[in-house]
């Protein structure tokens, strides 16, 4: 899992300066009325980090975990990411992902085969969930930074 942890750190180190180069005004612009702005996408990634932290830590403690999904659109609206401070969002996003890298790096191998179901989808191993988190992250970062040198193999298999 050290490779996954290092990948997260590399993503933060590569992408944070690019995110910081986006103005608050540009981050707030919506490509169209039904699409998320860059602020809302980054807010979603913060929510994803939060939810995945719970998945990671709780799955470490139980051989089989049943986890509820979350209504991502509601979370984005309820937390008013559209009007949030861009600098604060970028700092929170980076810090949260560095913490997740620390958690992943220090996960004992004996729990990597513990499983989780999410809203009935799965089961997925903890190892898979941790690796897939990085793919999901890159998928959405490419929406914010289409020219970033990131490649994502993310496919939403969770049904949520």
Q: Phi/psi at 31 (nearest 5 deg)?
A: -65, -30
Residue 22 is classified by DSSP as S
Q: Contact at 8 Å (CB) between 111 and 60?
A: yes
Domain 2-144 bears CATH identifier 3.20.20.140: no
Reported as a single tens digit per residue, the pLDDT across 112-160 is 999 999 988 899 999 999 999 999 999 899 999 988 777 766 566 555 5
Higher-confidence position of 1 and 94: 94
Q: Give the pair of three-digit tokens for residue 118.
A: 């999410």
DSSP-based three-state secondary structure for 64: strand
Rounded alpha-carbon distances, angstroms, from residue 147 to 8, 18, 129, 141: 18, 10, 26, 10
Q: What's the pLDDT score for residue 68?
A: 87
Reported as a single tens digit per residue, the pLDDT across 104-114 is 999 999 999 99
Q: What's the pLDDT score for residue 156?
A: 61
Question: Could you tell me where the beta strands, DSSP code E, fall in the chain?
Answer: 64-67, 115-118, 121-125
Reported as a single tens digit per residue, the pLDDT across 39-96 is 999 999 999 999 999 999 999 999 998 998 888 999 999 999 999 999 999 999 999 9
Residue 84 is classified by DSSP as S
Rounded alpha-carbon distances, angstroms, from residue 96 to 115, 124, 134, 143, 155: 23, 23, 13, 19, 23
Rounded alpha-carbon distances, angstroms, from residue 157 to 44, 50, 98, 135, 137: 18, 19, 25, 12, 15
The residues spanned by each domain of the chain are: 2-144
Q: What's the pLDDT score for residue 69?
A: 84
Q: What's the pLDDT score for residue 5?
A: 97
144: Cα separation from own chain's centroid = 13
């Amino acid at each position: 899992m050290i490779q996954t942890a290092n990948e997260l750190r590399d993503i933060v180190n590569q992408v944070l300066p690019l995110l910081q180069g986006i103005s608050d005004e540009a981050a707030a612009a919506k490509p169209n009325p039904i699409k998320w702005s860059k602020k809302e996408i980054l807010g979603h990634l913060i929510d994803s980090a939060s939810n995945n932290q719970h998945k990671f830590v709780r799955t470490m403690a139980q051989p089989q975990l049943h986890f509820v999904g979350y209504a991502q659109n509601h979370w984005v609206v309820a937390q008013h990411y559209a009007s949030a401070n861009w600098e604060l969002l970028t700092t929170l996003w980076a810090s949260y992902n560095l913490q997740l890298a620390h958690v992943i790096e220090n996960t004992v191998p004996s729990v990597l085969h513990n499983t989780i179901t999410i809203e009935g989808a799965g089961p997925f191993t903890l190892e898979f969930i941790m690796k897939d988190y990085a793919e999901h992250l890159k998928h959405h970062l490419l929406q914010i930074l289409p020219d970033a040198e990131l490649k994502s193999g993310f496919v939403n298999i969770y049904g949520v």
